[in-house]
Structure 1
Amino acid sequence: MQALRLVGTKDMEHDDWLEWRKRGIGGSDVAAICGLSRYKSALEVYLDKLGEIPPIPDNPKMKAGRILEPVVADWFAEETGIRVQKQNYIFQHKDYPFMLANIDRWVPGENAGLEIKNTAEYSRNNWFDGQTEIIPTEYQLQANHYMAVTGADKWYVAVLIGGWDFQWRVIERDDNLIRNLITIEENFWTQHVVAGVLPEVKAQDTDLMNYMYHSSAPTSINISEAYYDLIKRLLDTKQVLKQAEEAHEDVKNKVKQLMGENELALWQGEKFCSWKTNARGSRVFKIIGGL
């Protein structure tokens, strides 16, 4: 392994570990910075690194991940015959100090690592396309980030789906992707985190906008003509949204007419939508399945 050992984590308090993570970009940050994360945005990563938002409070899902990590690691070793070692360090890229790696396991003798995941049954489709095994984009980026930091040739991913279905995949090193990741991460770190410049706000940042600007002042701002395209997009998308809502309501009412007094509609034998009376006496329409 070519990475530097930034700090040991064996007896480190969780709050201290969170503080060390703010010193650079970790594997779980990469997809967000690239705009490819389903879970967080570049703005959230930026605010986290600057300590401007509180850390995510511990929850049962996070606790389950910690408890099951050694179980899944042992399962991987038993299933594959590949020996793995726990690494109690935060690693740092030897040339790019803002690139950090807190890896789950190292595979001695293979120049490889192991990332461990625990997910719910409803996320099964993230790991399969029909019968074909796939790997979520976030984890492909995370693994290549770790390979960039450590110099590894490949990275294993082990996942426990629904508490019982063990799956594992291999991600081979992609040097072209790694070069692009280094460029993206360096730009994000220097041009945003170090410079104190917010990254572009996205649709998933609604809660962060409300957190950052939680109260209003009795003042006004004059938006300059430089933002003409932005204002036009706001008005245009509002109109498109209105038209989409009207079209959706139109077809929904047509389906309600087909359903009549029935509270459940089937399509090709499968539950498609419901229109049930709730405790207040109102009927609530819900789409259950897809085509």
Structure 2
Amino acid sequence: MQAVRLASTKDMSHGEWLLWRQKGIGGSDAAAICRMSRYKSPMGVYLDKLGELPPIEDNPKMKAGRMLEPIIADWFSEETGYKVQRRNAILSHPKHSFMLANIDRWLSGQNAGLECKNTAEYCKEDWSGTQAPTEYILQCNHYMAVTGADRWYIAVLIGGWDFQWRVIERDDDLIRNLITVEKEFWHDHVLAKVPPAYSHQDTEFLKTQFPTSTPNAAFQLGEDTYPIMQDLFRARADEEDAKRRKNSAANQIKGLMGENELAFFQGDLKFTWKTNKKGIRTFNVIGGDE
């Protein structure tokens, strides 16, 4: 392992661990910085590193992740025959000290690590293919960048019983891009205290950041906002077009269904058009190919 050991996490409190997170970019930040995360935005990472977000309070989901991590690691060892061990350390890249890693397990006899995930049943589709979700591919390549590992395994427990695992091979081209993106983010945004642009994940945050308006106060948009406005106008037009196409297709299906409540395709229920207690028929899409 090429990483630099910065601190032991064996007896580290949750508060201390959160402070260490602010000292650099971790694996769970990688996808957000690359704008590839479904849940976290670059702005969220930026504010977190500056300590401007409320402390993350412990919750049952976080506790479950901690409690189940050793079980998932043991399950992985039993399934694969690979021995794993704890590192109990915050690690950093030997050249890029802002790149941090707090890994779940290291594989004995291999230049490889293991990431353990616990997720809900409704996330099962994320794992339907042969590859791990994109967020985790980025996260694990971040860890490989820090540690110099050749591959990273990821094990997931879905809904408390469905255990799966994947292997992510080192991608040097991706790692070079990750280092470039993370370096720019750390220096050009965090250290320079220049916030990145808001993104779609920031809707709720903006509601809490600016909960009220100042009566009659006005803001003059500059010329540099013109491309953003054009994106918004195009998106609204696309949305209206999609709504028209959706209604047209739904009405064609309704016309074929007539008085029938259910519509099947190749044995699978696809649509329902049922009359409720108020005498109103409601059309629902059950499933479809995305």
Please report the TM-score for the alignment, with normalisation by the length of structure 2: 0.89
- Aligned mates of 2:274, 2:6 — CA distance in 1: 58
Q: Which residue of 1 aligns with 2:53?
A: 53
Deviation at 1:290, TM superposition (A): 0.4
- Aligned mates of 2:93, 2:224 — CA distance in 1: 40
- Aligned mates of 1:272, 1:23 — CA distance in 2: 50
Deviation at 1:199, TM superposition (A): 1.4
Q: Which residue of 2 aligns with 1:207?
A: 204
1:186-244 deviation line (CA, Å, top 9, x unaligned): 00011111111121222232222223222211200122334333323333332332232
- Counterparts in 2 of 1:263 and 1:43: CA distance versus 1, 3 Å: farther
Q: Percent identity?
A: 59
Q: Which residue of 1 aligns with 2:164?
A: 167
Note if contact 1:155-1:170 (Cα within 8 Å) is conserved in structure 2: yes
Q: Which amino acid aligns with 1:180?
A: N
5+ residue gaps, structure 2, are none
Out of 241, 244, 263, which is 1:243 matched to?
241
Deviation at 1:12, TM superposition (A): 2.0
Work out whether 1:271 is the aligned partner of 2:266.
no
Note if contact 2:8-2:90 (Cα within 8 Å) is conserved in structure 1: yes
| Count of residues paired in the alignment | 288
Q: Which residue of 2 aligns with 1:229?
A: 227
Work out whether 1:147 is the aligned partner of 2:151.
no
Deviation at 1:260, TM superposition (A): 4.5
- Counterparts in 2 of 1:281 and 1:45: CA distance versus 1, 3 Å: farther
Q: Which residue of 2 aligns with 1:178?
A: 175
Higher mean alpha-carbon deviation, 171-180 vs 31-40, is at 171-180
Q: Which amino acid aligns with 2:218?
A: S
Note if contact 1:144-1:174 (Cα within 8 Å) is conserved in structure 2: yes
- Counterparts in 2 of 1:222 and 1:148: CA distance versus 1, 3 Å: same
Note if contact 1:126-1:134 (Cα within 8 Å) is conserved in structure 2: no
1:30-70 deviation line (CA, Å, top 9, x unaligned): 01111111221212111221222224443433322221110
TM-align CA RMSD? 2.3
Output aligned runs, 1:71-90, within 5 Å. 71-90=71-90
- Counterparts in 2 of 1:276 and 1:10: CA distance versus 1, 3 Å: farther
Deviation at 1:184, TM superposition (A): 0.8
- Aligned mates of 2:128, 2:249 — CA distance in 1: 32
- Counterparts in 2 of 1:270 and 1:5: CA distance versus 1, 3 Å: same
Note if contact 1:147-1:173 (Cα within 8 Å) is conserved in structure 2: yes
Q: Which residue of 1 aligns with 2:29?
A: 29
For the residue of structure 2 that corresponds to 1:116, the secondary structure is strand
Note if contact 2:82-2:108 (Cα within 8 Å) is conserved in structure 1: no
Note if contact 1:127-1:134 (Cα within 8 Å) is conserved in structure 2: yes
For the residue of structure 1 that corresponds to 2:141, the secondary structure is helix
Q: Which amino acid aligns with 1:178?
A: I
- Aligned mates of 2:276, 2:16 — CA distance in 1: 48
- Counterparts in 2 of 1:242 and 1:88: CA distance versus 1, 3 Å: same
